Amino acid sequence: MGTILENIERFARDPELLDIAEKVESGGRLSFEDGMTILNTSDLNTVGLLADYAKRKREGDRVYFVVNRHVNPTNICAISCKFCAFAKTAKSADAYELNSERILSLLNEELREVHIVGGLHPDWPFEHYLDIVRMIKERYPAVHVKAYTAVEIDWFSDISGLSHEEVLLAMKEAGVDALPGGGAEIFSEEVRKKICAPKTQSLQWIDIHRTAHRVGIPSNATILYGHIERYDHVVDHFDRLRNLQDETGGFFAFIPVLFQPENTRMSELKPRSGSYDLKVHALARLYLDNFPHIKAYWITLGEKAAQVALSYGCDDADGTILREKIIHDAGATSEVGHTRDFFTRMIKDAGYTPVERDALYNVVKIYN
Ligand code: V47
């Protein structure tokens, strides 16, 4: 472990990474400028080496996964974001609403986590969203429910007249164990205006997670990248999250979500490079030094790139998911779900030890 600096001094192609390497080895904190240096460099291997070093210092060779299931109760949404292919109006031929029976039919005893996210339905009352959680907890008391993004929490507050804190307390009471990280998109107000103008603003997203942590609900955070953002927008996003985590300590995982353009109003955008994807994941591990976990989200990266991202600082491969709809509606070419065997093989093939976890990162089984 102690030899990373020596190796980097010998092999790095970009001398600007040497100062960063020293910080990483000594446990120092990356500055905004360091973040920019990492995104600007073409020395991908050195960045990977640093991120893998930081990952191994925390987790050794463990890589987590969870047997989970996504449930999207409805795609009917009161707002329309340019990057989204999932949201529909109630009149659309593709609009759907899942009833209780249908939701329960998607679940089984084996699941450790149910991840719920959906549209902001213009007619469903707040109680209906609570009932979905209660129903799942009643039938499957052992399963963790990771439900409703900050954007949905904000909507529930609008439709119920309750404060964010009151909504979150009601969700906790109904059985919500954690909030998913969606809806963060990219915090830069300038970019947000262009890609998701009607959505909950950055300050509110951050404040809802702050409140969730205060009332004892842990959460995740995402970034939606690979569209019109500049490098400084990415570093700014990481900086705001790192500050919040310093304050609350309530985040478990950070998930870079790669934009998928099909069927969206941003479909003219061309994909960025694979190096950029890997640098965003590596930078997440290096910059977010107070986040316990970084996910390689195979749904958007694709399975192969997600496996490679495990060598670029990621210690979590997310989960079985069956079946993802939001991102597949936008043309993702990954499968809609995978088996436990898939994860153990994928993680072992990458040279790491698979660790099955639950939603709160309790270890279920280590696959030596
Ligand atoms: O915030 C919507 C994204 C997100 C597109 O907490 C798109 O463990 C790409 O919340 N291309 C929701 N992305 C995803 C999410 C999530 C995912 C994985 C793990 C966790 C977690 C949370 O879906 C939204 C948005 O950024 N999304 N449309 C699109 N066209």
pLDDT digits 0-9 by tens, 26-59: 999 999 999 999 999 999 999 999 999 999 999 9
Could you give the CA distance from residue 278 to residue 307 in angstroms, rounded to a whole number? Answer: 11
In three-state secondary structure terms, 44 is helix
Q: What is the dihedral of CA 308, 311, 313, 315, to 10 degrees?
A: 80
Residue list, ligand 1 pocket, CB within 6 Å: 83-85, 117, 149, 180-183, 185, 220, 222, 224, 253, 255, 257, 259-260, 264, 297, 300, 318, 326-327, 330
- Expressed in angstroms and rounded, the spacing between residue 182 Cα and the centre of ligand 1 is 5
Among 83, 280, 278, smallest CA distance to 196 is for 83
Residue 1, amino acid:
M
Could you give the CA distance from residue 185 to residue 325 in angstroms, rounded to a whole number? Answer: 17
- pLDDT for position 268: 97
The strand pair at 251-258 and 176-178 is best described as unpaired
Q: Residue 323, Cα to own-chain centre: how many angstroms?
A: 16
Domain with residue 126: its CATH number is: 3.20.20.70
**Closest-lying ligand 1 atom to the alpha carbon of residue 219:** 6
Whether residue 81 sits in one domain with residue 12: no
- For the beta sheet containing 219-225, the strands, ordered from the edge strand earlier in sequence to the opposite edge, are 219-225, 251-258, 293-294
Nearest CA to ligand 1 atom 6: 180
- Expressed in angstroms and rounded, the spacing between residue 26 Cα and the centre of ligand 1 is 34
Whether residue 119 sits in one domain with residue 34: no
How would you write the pLDDT of the chain (368 residues) with one tens digit per residue? Answer: 456 878 888 889 999 999 999 999 999 999 999 999 999 999 999 999 999 999 999 999 999 999 999 999 999 999 999 999 999 999 999 999 999 999 999 999 999 999 999 999 999 999 999 999 999 999 999 999 999 999 999 999 999 999 999 999 999 999 999 999 999 999 999 999 999 999 999 999 999 999 999 999 999 999 999 999 999 999 999 999 999 999 999 999 999 999 999 999 999 999 999 999 999 999 999 999 999 999 999 999 999 999 999 999 999 999 999 889 999 999 999 999 999 999 999 999 999 999 999 999 999 999 99
Q: Which of 186, 228, 257, when mutated, tests ligand 1's pocket best, judged by the most ligand atoms within 8 Å of its CB?
A: 257
Whether residue 251 sits in one domain with residue 267: yes
- Expressed in angstroms and rounded, the spacing between residue 334 Cα and the centre of ligand 1 is 14
This prediction has a pTM of: 0.97
**Closest-lying ligand 1 atom to the alpha carbon of residue 300:** 9
Tokens 């809609």, located at residue: 336
Tally of domains in the chain: 2
- Among residues 21, 38, 58, which one ends one of the domains? 58
Whether residue 319 sits in one domain with residue 186: yes
- pLDDT for position 4: 80
Return the bridge partners of 353, or none: 62
**Terminal CA-CA length for the chain:** 22
| Residue 233 CA neighbour count, 13 Å, CB half | 18
Residues 6+ apart with CB under 8 A from 312: 47, 48, 51, 52, 278, 279, 281, 282, 285
Nearest CA to ligand 1 atom 13: 259
Domain that holds residue 294: 62-366
Return the bridge partners of 113, or none: 68, 144
Residue 345, amino acid:
R
Whether residue 130 sits in one domain with residue 27: no
- Expressed in angstroms and rounded, the spacing between residue 158 Cα and the centre of ligand 1 is 22
Whether residue 153 sits in one domain with residue 111: yes
- pLDDT for position 7: 82
Q: Token pair of 178, please?
A: 């954690």
Instruction: Evaluate whether 315 touches 59 at the Cβ level (below 8 Å).
Output: yes
- pLDDT for position 26: 94
Q: Token pair of 355, please?
A: 């660790």
Q: Token pair of 121, please?
A: 């339905």
Residues 6+ apart with CB under 8 A from 325: 70, 72, 75, 86
- pLDDT for position 2: 52
Whether residue 136 sits in one domain with residue 9: no
Whether residue 225 sits in one domain with residue 204: yes
Q: Which of 115, 202, 224, 234, when mutated, tests ligand 1's pocket best, judged by the most ligand atoms within 8 Å of its CB?
A: 224
Instruction: Evaluate whether 82 touches 199 at the Cβ level (below 8 Å).
Output: no
Could you give the CA distance from residue 95 to residue 287 in angstroms, rounded to a whole number? Answer: 40
Please give the sequence-ordered ranges of beta strands (E in DSSP) within 110-218, or none if there are none: 113-116, 144-147, 176-178
Structural element, H or E, at residue 237: helix 231-248
- pLDDT for position 299: 97
Q: Rounded to the nearest 5°, which phi and psi values hold at 257? A: -115, 115
Q: Which of 154, 177, 195, 326, when mutated, tests ligand 1's pocket best, judged by the most ligand atoms within 8 Å of its CB?
A: 326
- Expressed in angstroms and rounded, the spacing between residue 327 Cα and the centre of ligand 1 is 7
Q: Token pair of 207, please?
A: 């404040």
- pLDDT for position 124: 98
Whether residue 92 sits in one domain with residue 212: yes
Whether residue 147 sits in one domain with residue 71: yes
- Length of the chain, in residues: 368
Q: Rounded to the nearest 5°, which phi and psi values hold at 270? A: -90, 145
Whether residue 132 sits in one domain with residue 277: yes
Whether residue 193 sits in one domain with residue 314: yes
**Closest-lying ligand 1 atom to the alpha carbon of residue 185:** 26
- Among residues 58, 78, 96, which one ends one of the domains? 58
